[in-house]
Amino acid sequence: MLDPHGSMAGSVASATLPPGARFRCFLKSARDLTSLLALLHKDKAKRRNIRCEVRPQGLKFSSQSSAKDVMVVAWLRTSTPITFIGSTEEEFSLPLDPLFQCLQIFSERASILMTYPSGDSNCLHLLMEEDGARTECTVQTVHSEEASSDFSAIGLGLEEPKSQLLPDPASWRRALAEFHERKLDGATLQMTLKAPPPTAPPPSSGFANPSAVVFESTMLSNQVQVELPFRAFKEGFKLAAPVVDVGQVSHSYYLTSVLDSCMKAAKVVSSC
């Protein structure tokens, strides 16, 4: 249990799980979590629930667009000031609006201790502390059957995507910004993922920076194409084995959904 008279940060390391709880997560600052949820809360009418997954790498939050053609996935990595107690393999869904409102009680400087489940109820319990003041908040999780319809439509489900792209946020945002003027109902955006060449081509070949991702949108008689080289994915570019075998794969999405979701996400990440 936590010392009610000491600081939460000072006692969390020696704290134990309360009866019935399977995991606790301590965030030294609410800043990253608040920024992440603020991004999703802008479309709260379209995003009723979010999925939270506890993993050894950190906390993963995911939510789908109203058209269910774009999923926004965000991580709070363990490289940030985050401490786990107990299980690191949990999954649950939460209503977005109540969770976001809980985080508005204090500022982004507040530290947070999240406990799941809370007592006999299947709730997420939040204990927040700022400048010696504490407050508690409980958010009821969403039943798994109700949540499943929100997160299974685009094929990724709740598992890790087989192709993982970690682009530089600023480069990703600049690439998508080229299509903003074409944001019309019904317009589509084709995204092609290309496998890296087996060997680096010589600079004299003219292909010293081959493209990793190609965005393309065609309307009537004109076409816009933007390419992102592999150097824009310094944090990671991993394609599924079948894609590597064939060399590339293309996906088509509604342009409005991609811009509304991805541009906001890239803007928040690049400003942190």
As a whole number of angstroms, the distance between CA 30 and CA 110 comes to 6
Residue labelled with tokens 């949820």: 37
Q: Assign 152 a pLDDT band (cuts: 50, 70, 90).
A: very low
Q: pLDDT for 49-103, tens place per residue?
A: 888 888 888 888 887 655 555 566 777 876 666 788 888 888 888 888 888 888 8
- Mean pLDDT (the chain) is 74
The continuous run of DSSP H or E covering 128 comes out as strand 123-130
List of domains in the chain: 8-151 (3.10.150.10), 164-271 (3.10.150)
Residue range 22-26: mean pLDDT, rounded: 88
Q: Which residue did the predictor score with more confidence, 11 or 37?
A: 37
pTM higher than 0.75: no
The continuous run of DSSP H or E covering 24 comes out as strand 23-27
Q: pLDDT for 184-217, tens place per residue?
A: 656 788 888 888 877 655 444 444 567 888 888 8
